[in-house]
């Protein structure tokens, strides 16, 4: 297990408010089996413990469940939407309308920003299978500890029972790999996180890692059947065997580091998949110690009326236990995270008076005075002091290397190129973030980053004491790569990780099915290794993100289906590039003002590599000579999420920047979003 730097202060990240929404429709396991196209003789309720689950999909979908949860969370909070500095959406399902309307852009977070009034919040989506919410908790913990935000909200609206409906059409035997689709339930959860006053309450330790060698044990995406929808294929026995074993070992290590004793734990909340998995986890813990250190009564099981609610599972269970007065103020809770990928995590949490507040036993807290949101404008990467965080090496697909239209393989090639130029070996990569949008077969689970970790052979399964890598996706259109870099900076500055690899890849989803309906993006992959500069001078300065959501309809994309064929359906306003050009100058000016710089001091500008015409127009808008812009759009195709990596790589190889120069990164994304960052060479 990797040795973390201990730079953070003594304050923990604490849950300030929790909101849970369950759609009103309730369906029994018997009804689920009865509605299968083929007769399935399987004791679903007896083996899983699931009697009833809540199901949306009639008038409410993923984004609606998230919105309802946000309303409940804010109703229980001392804060309003405009007080939130960071909003992260982390649901697997982005089915936001009837007939399997699986959204890709704009991100859920930017749409909720507009709908719910998160005017001052930095926003992006995270995708990491059922570990999504705890991945977001881990990321928020880094942003809080590095001083970049004061408070954040994570939200997940999981309308995942559309998988159930597809599986009911397809399952024909009780051993069918699609059977876990019948265990799912829908819900929405929103959580506000901030730092506690001390280290008595909150998360004492959050640790997560990914075993990418097993990323093919559970894969979800659109079906190729004529009736459409999506399906999840799971090797359940193999998945649970690895997940439970690794989770037990991880809990033991994390508890040891937290200096908790097993008898201190009042409740253990693990991923709610089946009561057999919960019982087996308890048994393996006691077998490890060769005595009963954890009694079955401490194992939380809310499956009977919820089912497997995916990313929201831990927080729905926490909310249920609070409402039933089984979890109370002052209790110590251990969260065990298991997800496809395979992602394993453990979090030790001490409750403050949250249960009393959620049950209404105490009044709603008064708003904290003098604590406005801080993220609406510029965010300095060096505010907390210490060395800068830099781009240590850059990789791309070398010229002449042939590759297939495979998003994961393209990153593998770029990743190998990056490692070949780096001082680090693959075993020294602590964090892997994928920021691409367009992937093969529209896969939504597991995280593409987990697949890449497995393909690159990064810290897979090398023994109990070996280093591990944590992998997840940042999902936010073309601006996602800058979001990923910003996230990596915060995680390194907070002391959680030493090194990060930010990767991206894109394919034309319609190349084979609708060749006359293409996005015009460059099919390629890229990789950047990010670390701290030991000398302290080289690296990112400040980041600035701004949003103009009145243009949110300028571009949208979702999965289209026709007679078993899946394609990318998209609508694009022909004026979208002009919208970007209108907004960028103001964002650049605000960032440079924060850094006490002016454009004459910028030696190189790294713009979105959309087209040469776009870069020419941007040069005129900023009133800066074109020679300052790194322009590498050779074949007229948009480099999209690889724009930054390719532009930085070209600047280094051509020696157009030297020590002491200041660069300016500009990124744009649907929503409309504009992001900028300074970089000191």
- The number of C-alpha atoms within 13 Å of 409 and in the hemisphere containing its C-beta is 9
**By mean pLDDT, which of 210-224, 243-257, 455-469, 647-661 is the weakest?**
455-469
Both 338 and 400 in one domain: the answer is no
CB atoms within 10 A of CB 366: 7
Last residue of a domain, one of 298, 324, 358: 358
In 3D space, the residue among 590, 559, 538, 598 whose CA is nearest the CA of residue 390 turns out to be 538
Check whether 367 has a pLDDT greater than 60. Answer: no
- Structure-block tokens of residue 121: 């919040």
Confidence of residue 464 (pLDDT cuts 50, 70, 90): low
pLDDT at res. 199: 86
Partners of 529 in the β-ladder: 393, 501
pLDDT at res. 563: 87
Output the average pLDDT for the chain: 92
Pairing of strands 524-532, 389-396: antiparallel
pLDDT at res. 1: 41
Both 436 and 312 in one domain: the answer is no
Sign (positive/negative) of CA torsion 647, 653, 658, 660?
positive
Both 547 and 645 in one domain: the answer is yes
Read off the pTM: 0.95
Q: How far is CA 376 from CA 79, 595, 600, 667, 669, in A?
A: 16, 16, 26, 17, 17
Confidence of residue 483 (pLDDT cuts 50, 70, 90): very high
Both 397 and 352 in one domain: the answer is no
Both 304 and 218 in one domain: the answer is yes
Both 115 and 187 in one domain: the answer is yes
d(CA 649, CA 659): 15
**375: in domain:** no
Residue 424 · residue 392 · CB < 8 Å: yes
DSSP 3-state assignment of 395?
Answer: strand
DSSP 3-state assignment of 583?
Answer: helix
> End-to-end distance of the chain based on CA atoms, in angstroms?
33
Check whether 139 has a pLDDT greater than 90. Answer: yes
**142: in domain:** yes
Both 198 and 152 in one domain: the answer is yes
pLDDT at res. 256: 86
Last residue of a domain, one of 308, 323, 358: 358
Q: How many structural domains compose the chain? A: 2
Residue 468 · residue 253 · CB < 8 Å: no
600-623 mean pLDDT: 97
* DSSP string across 309-322: -GGGHHHHHHHHHH
In 3D space, the residue among 377, 644, 350, 337 whose CA is nearest the CA of residue 485 turns out to be 644
CATH number, position 590? 3.40.47.10
pLDDT tens-place string over residues 524-578? 999 999 999 988 789 999 999 999 999 999 999 999 999 889 999 999 999 999 9
In the chain, % of residues over pLDDT 70: 94
d(CA 574, CA 638): 15
pLDDT at res. 379: 57
**624: in domain:** yes
Both 31 and 92 in one domain: the answer is yes
Confidence of residue 366 (pLDDT cuts 50, 70, 90): low
DSSP 3-state assignment of 645?
Answer: helix
Place of tokens 């899983």: 48
Check whether 429 has a pLDDT greater than 50. Answer: yes
- Structure-block tokens of residue 531: 């670390």
Both 455 and 321 in one domain: the answer is no
Check whether 267 has a pLDDT greater than 50. Answer: yes
Both 337 and 391 in one domain: the answer is no
Q: Which domain holds residue 51?
A: 13-358
Confidence of residue 33 (pLDDT cuts 50, 70, 90): very high
Pairing of strands 267-270, 332-339: parallel
pLDDT tens-place string over residues 577-601? 999 999 999 999 999 999 999 999 9
**474: in domain:** yes
In the chain, % of residues over pLDDT 90: 86
- Structure-block tokens of residue 166: 């597809």
339-368 mean pLDDT: 86
**By mean pLDDT, which of 32-46, 111-125, 640-654 is the weakest?**
32-46
Residue 102 · residue 558 · CB < 8 Å: yes
Both 476 and 621 in one domain: the answer is yes
**122: in domain:** yes
Check whether 369 has a pLDDT greater than 60. Answer: no
d(CA 464, CA 469): 13
DSSP state, 296? G
pLDDT tens-place string over residues 520-532? 999 999 999 999 9
Both 349 and 386 in one domain: the answer is no
Q: How many helices (H) and strands (E) does the chain have?
A: 16, 26
Comparing 495 with 258, which gets the higher pLDDT?
495
Pairing of strands 86-89, 539-547: unpaired
Confidence of residue 2 (pLDDT cuts 50, 70, 90): very low
DSSP state, 478? B
pLDDT tens-place string over residues 163-188? 999 999 999 876 789 999 999 999 99
Partners of 123 in the β-ladder: 87
Sign (positive/negative) of CA torsion 322, 323, 325, 328?
positive
Confidence of residue 364 (pLDDT cuts 50, 70, 90): low
**369: in domain:** no
pLDDT at res. 4: 47
Confidence of residue 194 (pLDDT cuts 50, 70, 90): very high
Angle at 82 between CA 76 and CA 87, to 5 degrees: 80
Residue 213 · residue 246 · CB < 8 Å: no
**520: in domain:** yes
**634: in domain:** yes
DSSP 3-state assignment of 615?
Answer: helix
Partners of 285 in the β-ladder: none
Q: Which helix (H) or strand (E) holds 336?
A: strand 332-339
DSSP 3-state assignment of 492?
Answer: helix
Residue 273 · residue 216 · CB < 8 Å: no
């Amino acid at each position: 297990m990797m040795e973390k730097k201990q730079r953070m202060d003594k304050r923990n990240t604490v849950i300030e408010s929790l909101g849970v929404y369950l759609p009103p429709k309730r369906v029994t396991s018997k009804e689920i089996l009865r509605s299968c196209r083929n007769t399935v003789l399987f004791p679903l309720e007896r083996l899983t413990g699931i009697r009833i689950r809540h199901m949306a999909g009639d008038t409410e979908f993923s984004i609606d469940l998230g919105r309802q949860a946000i309303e409940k969370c804010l109703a229980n909070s001392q804060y309003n939407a405009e007080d939130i500095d960071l909003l992260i959406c982390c649901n697997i399902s982005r089915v936001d309308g009837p007939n399997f309307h699986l959204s890709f852009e704009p991100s859920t977070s930017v749409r909720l920003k507009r709908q719910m009034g998160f005017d001052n919040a930095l926003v992006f989506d995270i995708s990491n299978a059922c570990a999504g919410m705890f991945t977001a908790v881990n990321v928020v913990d880094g942003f809080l500890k590095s001083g970049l935000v004061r408070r954040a909200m994570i939200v997940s609206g999981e309308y995942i029972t559309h998988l159930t409906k597809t599986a009911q059409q397809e399952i024909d035997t009780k051993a069918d790999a699609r059977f876990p689709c019948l265990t799912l339930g829908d819900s929405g959860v929103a959580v506000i996180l901030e730092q506690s006053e001390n280290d008595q309450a909150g998360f004492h330790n959050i640790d997560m890692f990914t075993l990418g060698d097993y990323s093919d044990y559970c894969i979800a995406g659109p079906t190729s059947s004529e009736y459409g929808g999506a399906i999840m294929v799971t090797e359940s026995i193999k998945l649970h065997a690895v997940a439970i074993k690794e989770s037990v070992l991880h809990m033991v290590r994390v508890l040891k580091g937290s200096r908790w004793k097993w008898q201190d734990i009042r409740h253990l909340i693990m991923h709610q998949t089946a009561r057999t998995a919960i019982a087996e986890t308890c048994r393996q813990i006691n077998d490890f110690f060769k005595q009963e250190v954890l009694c079955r009564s401490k194992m939380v099981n809310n499956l009977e009326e919820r089912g497997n609610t995916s990313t929201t599972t831990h927080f729905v269970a926490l909310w249920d236990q609070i409402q039933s007065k089984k979890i109370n103020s002052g209790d110590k809770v251990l969260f065990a995270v298991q997800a496809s990928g395979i992602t394993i995590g453990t979090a030790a949490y001490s409750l403050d008076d949250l249960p009393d507040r959620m049950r209404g036993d105490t009044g709603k807290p008064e708003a904290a005075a003098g604590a406005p949101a801080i993220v609406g404008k510029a965010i300095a990467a060096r505010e907390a002091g210490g060395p800068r965080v830099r781009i240590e090496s850059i990789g791309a697909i070398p010229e002449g290397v042939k590759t297939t239209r495979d998003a994961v393989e393209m990153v593998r090639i770029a990743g190998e190129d990056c490692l070949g130029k780096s001082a680090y070996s693959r075993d020294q990569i602590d964090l892997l973030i994928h920021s691409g949008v367009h992937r093969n077969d529209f896969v939504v689970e597991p995280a593409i980053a987990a697949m890449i970790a497995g393909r690159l052979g990064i810290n897979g399964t090398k023994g109990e004491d070996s280093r591990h890598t944590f992998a997840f996706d940042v999902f936010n259109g073309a601006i996602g790569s800058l979001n990923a870099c910003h996230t990596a900076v915060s995680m390194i500055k907070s002391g959680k990780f030493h090194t990060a690899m930010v990767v991206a890849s894109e394919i034309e989803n319609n190349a084979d099915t609708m060749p006359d309906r293409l996005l015009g993006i460059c099919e390629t992959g890229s990789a950047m290794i990010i670390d701290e500069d030991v000398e302290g001078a080289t690296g990112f300065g400040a980041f600035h993100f701004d949003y103009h959501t009145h243009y949110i309809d300028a571009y949208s994309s979702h999965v289209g289906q026709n007679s078993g064929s899946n394609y990318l359906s998209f609508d694009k306003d022909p004026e979208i590039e002009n919208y970007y050009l209108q907004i960028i100058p103001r964002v650049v000016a605000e960032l440079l003002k924060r850094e006490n710089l002016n454009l004459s001091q910028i030696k190189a500008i790294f713009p979105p590599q959309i087209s040469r015409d776009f870069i020419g127009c941007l040069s005129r808008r900023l009133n800066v000579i074109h020679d300052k812009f790194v322009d590498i759009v050779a074949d007229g195709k948009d480099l999209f999420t690889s724009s930054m990596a390719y532009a930085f790589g070209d600047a280094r190889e051509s020696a157009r920047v030297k020590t002491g120069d200041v660069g300016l990164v500009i990124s744009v994304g649907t929503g409309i979003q504009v992001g900028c960052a300074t970089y000191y060479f």
